[in-house]
A and B are shown apart, each in its own frame.
Chain A
């Protein structure tokens, strides 16, 4: 079974700072998900990636399959980026049907 660890658990930044959130997992995977949970509770998918790097606006996600590690970066952070960021990977190698989730990183961006 895959084990997921996220760090840090909590992160406070000043507006404009560069943010990095890390996710490590224990078993080889086909793809990793990054999710954002808004303060109101809603969850949206940010990225699904299986190799390299993806970029969407100020958000960048990278994954190193050999190191079993992924990072989510936010450039020029803004208070509206304040949310919980969650990574998720397949629970078992070779199966995308069951995901296991990290406990999340609570990000607070101060104006």
Chain B
């Protein structure tokens, strides 16, 4: 059974800092891996989706990498802003049916 772990669970940084969020998964036979953002009391917003054949995806200040062999993915946020404060969740899909296994999330606070 797939297990997804995120480290750290919480992170507080000053504005402008570059930061890395980590995600690890136990079953490397993934179909894709996604990163989501969740604001308090809200649903999920998809940030980046990496197919199993890809190594990274970029969107603006966000860059996500995938290393299936080591069972790891990272989300890099450049020049962090207070508006980036949220919980970031990674999720692995093990089949084309899109069943997702979520990590515990990283609660990010970017201080002005």
B and A form one assembly: no
Chain B positions near chain A (C-beta within 8 angstroms): none
Chain A positions near chain B (C-beta within 8 angstroms): none
